Structure 1
Amino acid sequence: MKRIALVLLILLFVAGSAFARPSSVAVGAQLGFAASGAVVDIGLGSLYLNAGVNYPLGITYIATTLDEEDVFVDIVTLTADVSQAFALSENFDIKVGIGTTAFTNFGPVILGLAGPVVKGEYWVPNKNFGLTLTLNIPVMGFGVIEDNEDFNGGVVFNPLFPLFGLVTSTIGVLYSF
């Protein structure tokens, strides 16, 4: 059984050299409850770096239901991940890695979640764009709050954190050039 698993791993790494994306740089947009905005995805061989600047539309929607005057929350969502790509077909890649989603007001508060990431990318044949699905599985929380006597930062693990993946996962589109 271990030999079969080893052979499958070797095949996945060898097959990972023929990726579906036409070039190593792609930009696009993602849509999700906690992160809707712009992303850039840069390939470095079979590793990919992804970073995004987003706005939490879902949180804003909840704020509109509370009859508040200022419904736009002053929070920015920053997303980042590093993943290994595996080509499953000519047009479909799966990426597995680690990532984070952080919420900040560009002031004294940064709160976030981090953990494994599984991404699927389907690239339309003979086109320079593709559709993406990013599934986050947070396993830890982190944060920093300056000038707070009760909490000044730290890392927290909780078995309920993977449930937050329901609101931090996104769908999107990428354009390569």
Structure 2
Amino acid sequence: MAKRGVNTVTIIGTMGAEPKVQQFSNGSSTVVSLATSESWTDKQSGSKVEETEWHRIVLKGKHADVVAQGGRKGRDLYVVGKLKSRKYTVGTVEKSITEIIVDDFDGQCHFVDNAGTSTRTSSAPPQRQSRPQQGAQPYGDRQPAHSPQSYQAPPEHADLSPPPQMEDLPEYDESFFRNVPV
């Protein structure tokens, strides 16, 4: 299958609930809800404003197993995956959802501790850390702009409870993606 464009998402956030494991005939998936927050000072009132965004992450294969075993509410997680949108029905109402899918083929997943170090959960070997020649930086040595080492955890007062609509979402159904035209 030929790909057109790039569908890659990188998220570093805090788990808002315990991981939810779902078993399928071809393996298991683990679903987590990650919170990312940004804050700023309101120019008119001078008060600090914080906005939290929630991201539904579906991990497959080895990533699913590792996060199911080591993940817990409040733990920081770095993931690289791809966006997938799907529709589902609650009663008579059709709803849609966008998820970040992290699989063994091209996904990455790392736990990030408070000291800023990461624990690799992907099967890919770590990037080599050689010193580039003056003025040149080989592609394999590039670090993402927001690498796990530079991550700052959300403030203590951030509301990290999962959004109420998470309970309304259906179970992740692997067969749904096999029937979607490309």
TM-score (norm 1): 0.29
Q: More strand by proportion, 1 or 2? A: 1
TM-score (norm 2): 0.29
